[in-house]
């Protein structure tokens, strides 16, 4: 799943010294009772909460004085509740897991604010706080434009970011004119210059720019669906369970402050529209322990099927490839080329031999929701899925080992 840019922040690691601090405080307290004159100023300061952050990643973090960014400020608020200061470890931008490995898991950071709360995100090496926010993609357009779902995009020119979930989702909509942009910034510019009617882009940056550069001129509608919206949380290394519990303990009391911070940076954290439906769904932030539904694919309309003449295996496989690359490739890789073996679908034959076909149907119909594989039976017809199967058959790895 195209989860995103990660915004690195660190928080405290040394829960042991925290514990130790408590012991020392207790001892001091007793000493105070016994000998008040002796104790003045003797309390040992807790170590700072180490926040790792990208210095140039607004609205999330920055080293500009007076503009620390949403996640840094959340980290500061948490630290303050824990009676600690923060220190920063600036880490230049990165995308994804590599950063987490080089910072959090290398003990450069105590914690990172804003990691995606998804089952398979680096678990079990990384553990999470309760959700603090939701992040994802949004529809951005003029305030008087109706933007309640995908069908409102019909006939419009829509900016989509290169290789993003929105681009994949709209790929097969012939009735939407896609304009590819390379960044949310570029999407906002295209919108503002009238080159597109709507931008379907990464929400936090859209919101931030709307607030800081466009005078709040646009409405920003968060979308919900597979790869479109996910919960984020504070991540810790597995060994920092005690610290995580401590942070979870103070998060509920910070809910108001955190909402205010979202507003301050213009970052949407509200009710998303379900992709393809008119009725807005509700969402929640802190305190809600259930993550948002990222499991179910909500492709609004069945893709247009082309090129398949019935009974023609080659044609079926071509049509199947189109469905595959439009939808499945998002997780399984374009043309089913995927380095991660577990989801490498070129290995189906090797893996299941004679059970390949039955495994395909069962998995694709019902999904494996707990493992991040959506169910597709309500999205694609069996004919379409049969084409996908024909396509997958044509790309099976038949080599040795
Ligand atoms: C949101 C990501 C995602 C999308 C989109 C997705 N899959 Fe999957 N799929 C997975 C994951 C994750 C697994 C592995 C589940 C597990 O660990 O058992 C999987 C497993 C599978 C398997 C079983 C693989 C095996 O070796 O057991 C098949 C078959 C499959 N997917 C087909 C498809 C097809 C066809 C589509 C498109 C219609 C699709 N998937 C779209 C995430 C996805």
The model's pLDDT over 205-237, given as tens digits with 9 standing for 90+, comes to: 999 999 999 999 999 988 888 788 888 899 888
Residue, of 8 and 392, whose pLDDT is higher? 392
- Ligand 1 geometric centre to CA of 364 (Å): 7
Q: pLDDT tens-digit profile of 259-288? A: 888 888 989 876 666 664 333 333 333 322
pTM of the model: 0.54
Residue closest by Cα to atom 15 of ligand 1: 371
The confidence score (pLDDT) of residue 228 equals 87
Return the closest-CA partner of residue 20 out of 51, 49, 47, 39. 47
Q: pLDDT tens-digit profile of 342-363? A: 889 999 999 999 999 999 999 9
Contact 298, 226 (CB under 8 A): yes
Contact 168, 327 (CB under 8 A): yes
- Ligand 1 geometric centre to CA of 381 (Å): 17
Looking from the CA of residue 120, the nearest atom of ligand 1 is 12
- Ligand 1 geometric centre to CA of 356 (Å): 13
CB of 346 closer than 6 angstroms to any ligand 1 atom: no
Q: Considering the chain, what percentage of its residues have pLDDT values greater than 90?
A: 35
CB of 18 closer than 6 angstroms to any ligand 1 atom: no
Q: pLDDT tens-digit profile of 282-318? A: 333 332 222 222 223 333 323 333 333 334 667 778 8
Mutate to test the pocket of ligand 1, among 168, 228, 229, 373 (most ligand atoms within 8 A of CB): 373
Over residues 246-256, mean pLDDT = 90
CB of 363 closer than 6 angstroms to any ligand 1 atom: yes
The confidence score (pLDDT) of residue 145 equals 94
SS3 of the chain? CCCCCCCCCCCCCCHHHHHHHHHHHHHHHHHHHHCHHHCCCCCCCCCCEEEEECCEECCCEECCCCCCCHHHHHHHHHHHHCCCCEEEEECCCCCCHHHHHHCHHHCCCCEEEEEECCCCCCCCCEEEEEEEEEEEEEEEEECCCCCCCHHHHCCCEEEEECCCHHHHHHCCCCCCEEEEECCHHHHHHHHHCCCCCEEEEEHHHHHHHHHHCCCCCEEEEEEECCCCEEEEEEEEEHHHHHHHHHHHHHCHHHHHHHHHHHHHHCCCCCCCEECCCCCECCCCCCCCCCCCCCCCCCCCCCCCCCCCCCCCHHHHHHHHHHHHHHHHHHHHCHHHCCCCHHHCHHHHHHHHHHHHHHHHHHHHHHCEHHHCECCCCCCCCHHHHHHHHHHHHHCCCCCCC
CB of 221 closer than 6 angstroms to any ligand 1 atom: no
Domains of the chain: 15-135+230-265 (3.40.190.10), 136-224 (3.40.190.10), 313-394 (1.10.760.10)
Over residues 186-211, mean pLDDT = 96
Residue closest by Cα to atom 19 of ligand 1: 373
Q: pLDDT tens-digit profile of 20-37? A: 333 333 333 333 333 333
Pairwise CA distance, residues 377 & 366, whole Å: 7
The confidence score (pLDDT) of residue 274 equals 66
CB of 328 closer than 6 angstroms to any ligand 1 atom: yes
């Amino acid at each position: 799943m195209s989860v995103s840019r990660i915004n690195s922040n660190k928080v405290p690691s040394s829960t042991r010294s925290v514990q130790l601090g408590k012991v020392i405080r207790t001892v001091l307290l007793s000493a105070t009772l016994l000998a008040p004159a002796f104790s003045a100023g003797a309390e040992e300061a807790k170590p700072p909460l180490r926040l790792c952050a990208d210095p140039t990643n607004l609205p999330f973090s920055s080293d500009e004085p007076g503009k620390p960014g949403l996640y840094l400020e959340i980290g500061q608020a948490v630290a303050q509740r824990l009676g600690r200061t923060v220190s920063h470890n600036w880490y230049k931008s990165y995308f994804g897991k590599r950063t987490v490995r080089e910072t959090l898991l290398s003990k450069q950071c105590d914690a990172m604010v804003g990691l995606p709360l998804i089952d398979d995100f680096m678990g079990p090496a990384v553990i999470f706080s309760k959700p603090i926010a939701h992040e994802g993609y949004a529809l951005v357009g003029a305030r008087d434009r109706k933007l309640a779902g995908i069908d409102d995009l019909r006939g419009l020119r829509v900016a989509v970011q290169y290789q993003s979930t929105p681009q994949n989702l709209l790929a097969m909509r012939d009735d939407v004119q896609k304009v590819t942009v390379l960044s949310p910034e570029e999407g906002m510019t295209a919108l503002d210059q009238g080159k597109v009617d709507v931008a379907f882009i990464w929400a936090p940056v859209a919101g931030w720019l709307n607030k800081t550069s466009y005078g709040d001129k646009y409405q920003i509608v968060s979308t919900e669906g597979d790869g479109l919206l996910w919960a984020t949380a504070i991540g810790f290394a597995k060994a920092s369970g005690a610290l995580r519990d401590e942070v979870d303990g103070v998060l509920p009391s910070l809910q108001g402050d955190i909402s205010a911070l979202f507003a301050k940076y213009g970052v949407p954290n509200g009710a998303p529209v379900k992709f393809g439906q008119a009725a807005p769904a509700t969402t929640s932030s802190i305190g809600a322990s259930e993550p948002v539904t990222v499991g179910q694919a909500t492709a609004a309309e069945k893709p247009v099927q082309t090129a398949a003449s019935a009974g023609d295996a080659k044609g079926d496989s071509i049509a199947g490839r189109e469905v595959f690359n439009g939808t499945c490739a998002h997780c399984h890789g374009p043309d089913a080329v995927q380095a991660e073996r577990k989801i490498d679908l070129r290995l189906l034959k090797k893996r299941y031999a004679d059970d390949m076909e039955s495994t395909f149907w069962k998995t694709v119909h019902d999904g494996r929701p707990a493992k991040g594989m959506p169910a597709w039976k309500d999205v694609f017809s069996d004919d379409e899925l049969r084409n996908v199967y024909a396509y997958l058959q044509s790309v099976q790895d038949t080599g040795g080992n």
